[in-house]
């Protein structure tokens, strides 16, 4: 008879958050002897995060940590070095808990960076409050122009990608969530999630454009081109989106490229993973890293619910 394998008695089946924190501190002291004051500082940083996040450490996400760093930087007004110290403590704790098997998720602090210094944003990059106002004001536009604007701000489309959208590019997953395949001649295909409110606007545009029947992935008709037979040109998209922005924002409206980066910046503040954003929007990791730094100085309002959650 084969006996079942013995259980690993050295690793607890379940520990409370506080027990995990105490084991982490003990492990740190054993590996790197520290003063009592240093240990108190480590515990204080973690406790501050626990009180702020108000959930079990096992369920903390990248978005939680990123918003906490924004809170320390923008609301608590801590020096960049103090924010970096708090993030370093959390990173060490999660490294330990994941390595020991206490937490099953990946370390949610790994893609979060602390501010090094105050960065002045480019003058044409919109802050989160400005993007929020722009999205609200977009209801004043004709539906076609509004959808072109939202394709740039919410889906991350370039001008040629927005003009070349086809009805067959929209797909639904098994959970009935809408996604959109985005591609152009210069970038790889990528599928991004379409938030519910934006999906409803696309459904309304189907009625305006007299597109009958269910969503069909084989439907090659264009959303915005002439009678669906030709794409809307890149120049036309830039002209229409530019005119819409000037109408809503005035003469200081950003270029389409900076408008797209403004949307990406707010997506990060809303909790989008940097790696996922880079993939979905076809941005380099260097660009996303720069937007992470800039977005903290533009955190003027709460994240938008129109963005997909991290």
Residue 113 pLDDT greater than 50, yes or no: yes
Listed residue (50, 49, 102) closest to 78, CA to CA: 49
CB environment 58-88: b (16+ within 10 A), e (fewer)? eebbbbbbbbbbbbbbeeeebeeeebbbbbe
Cα distances (angstroms) measured from residue 204 to each of 28, 139, 200, 251, 302: 58, 13, 6, 30, 28
The pLDDT of residue 234 is 92
- 235-265: per-residue pLDDT in tens? 999 999 999 999 998 877 888 999 999 999 8
Highest mean pLDDT among 115-119, 177-181, 302-306: 177-181
Contact 280, 192 (CB under 8 A): yes
pLDDT, tens digit, for every residue of 38-79?
A: 788 889 999 999 999 999 999 999 999 999 998 998 888 888
Three-state DSSP state, 78: coil
For residue 172, give the H/E element and its range: strand 170-172
pTM: 0.58
Mean of per-residue pLDDT scores for the chain = 82
Per-residue pLDDT band at 5 (split at 50, 70, 90): very low
| Tokens 């480590």 belong to residue | 42
Which range has highest mean pLDDT (19-33, 51-65, 104-118, 125-139)? 51-65
Percentage of the residues of the chain whose pLDDT score is greater than 70? 85
Q: Which of the four pLDDT bands, split at 50, 70 and 90, describes residue 9?
A: very low
**pLDDT band for position 34 (cuts 50, 70, 90):** low
Q: Do 17-99 and 128-297 come out as alike in CATH topology? A: no
Q: Give pLDDT tens digits for 272-296.
A: 888 888 888 888 888 888 888 776 6
Would you tell me how many other CB atoms lie within 10 Å of the CB of residue 254? 20
pLDDT score, position 37? 75
Residues 171-200, mean pLDDT to the nearest whole number: 82
H-only helix segments in the chain: 17-31, 36-53, 62-70, 80-99, 128-137, 143-153, 159-163, 196-208, 234-249, 256-269, 274-281, 285-297
Residues 6+ apart with CB under 8 A from 7: none
CATH of 17-99 given 3.40.630, 1.25.40, 1.10.150, 3.40.50:
1.10.150
Cα–Cα dist 288/281, whole Å: 10
* Band of pLDDT at residue 301, cut at 50, 70 and 90: very low
Check residue 54 and give left, alpha or beta (phi > 0: left; psi -120 to 50: alpha): left
- Select the more confidently predicted residue: 195 or 175: 195
The confidence score (pLDDT) of residue 117 equals 58
pLDDT at position 56 is 92
Q: Does domain 128-297 have CATH number 1.10.3210.10?
A: no
* Nearest to 157, CA basis, from 108, 125, 192, 127: 192
Rounded mean pLDDT of 133-144? Answer: 91
pLDDT at 163 over 90: yes
pLDDT one-digit tens code per residue, 72-101 = 988 888 888 888 889 999 999 999 999 888
pLDDT at 6: 42
Q: Which residues are CB-contacts of 91 (< 8 A; sequence separation ≥ 6)?
A: 107, 109, 110
Please report the pLDDT score of residue 251 as a whole number.
74
Residue 309 above 50 pLDDT? no
What token pair was written down for 237? 């998209």
Q: What is the pLDDT of residues 193-213, one digit of tens each?
A: 899 899 999 999 988 888 877
Q: Name the residue ranges covered by the structural domains of the chain.
A: 17-99, 128-297
Q: What interhelical angle do 80-99 and 36-53 show, nearest 10?
A: 90
């Amino acid at each position: 008879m084969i006996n079942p394998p013995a259980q690993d008695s050295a690793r607890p089946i379940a520990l409370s958050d506080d027990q995990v924190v105490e084991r982490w501190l003990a492990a740190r002291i054993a590996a790197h002897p520290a003063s009592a004051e240093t240990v108190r500082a480590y515990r204080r940083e973690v406790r501050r995060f626990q009180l702020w996040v108000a959930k079990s450490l096992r369920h903390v996400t990248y978005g939680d940590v990123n918003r906490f760093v924004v809170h320390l930087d923008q609301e608590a007004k801590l020096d960049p070095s103090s924010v970096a110290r708090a993030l370093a403590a959390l990173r060490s704790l999660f490294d330990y808990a994941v390595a020991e098997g206490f937490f099953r998720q990946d370390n949610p602090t790994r893609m979060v960076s602390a501010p090094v210094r105050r960065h002045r944003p480019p003058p044409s990059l919109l802050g989160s409050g400005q993007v929020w106002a722009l999205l609200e004001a977009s209801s004043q536009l004709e539906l076609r122009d509004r959808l072109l604007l939202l394709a740039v701000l919410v889906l991350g489309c370039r001008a040629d990608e927005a003009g070349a959208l086809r009805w067959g590019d929209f797909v639904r997953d098994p959970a009935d969530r809408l996604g959109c395949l985005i591609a152009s001649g210069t970038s790889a295909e990528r599928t991004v999630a379409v938030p519910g409110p934006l999906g409803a606007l696309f459904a309304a545009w189907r009625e305006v454009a007299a597109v009958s029947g269910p969503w069909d992935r084989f439907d090659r008709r264009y959303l915005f081109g002439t009678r669906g037979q030709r794409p809307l040109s890149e120049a036309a998209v830039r002209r229409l989106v530019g005119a819409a922005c000037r109408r809503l924002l005035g003469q200081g409206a950003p270029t389409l490229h900076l408008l797209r980066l403004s949307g990406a910046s707010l997506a990060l503040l809303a909790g989008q993973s940097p790696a996922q954003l880079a993939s979905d929007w076809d941005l380099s990791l260097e660009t996303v890293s720069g937007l992470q730094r800039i977005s903290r100085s533009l955190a003027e309002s709460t994240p938008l619910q129109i963005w997909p959650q991290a």
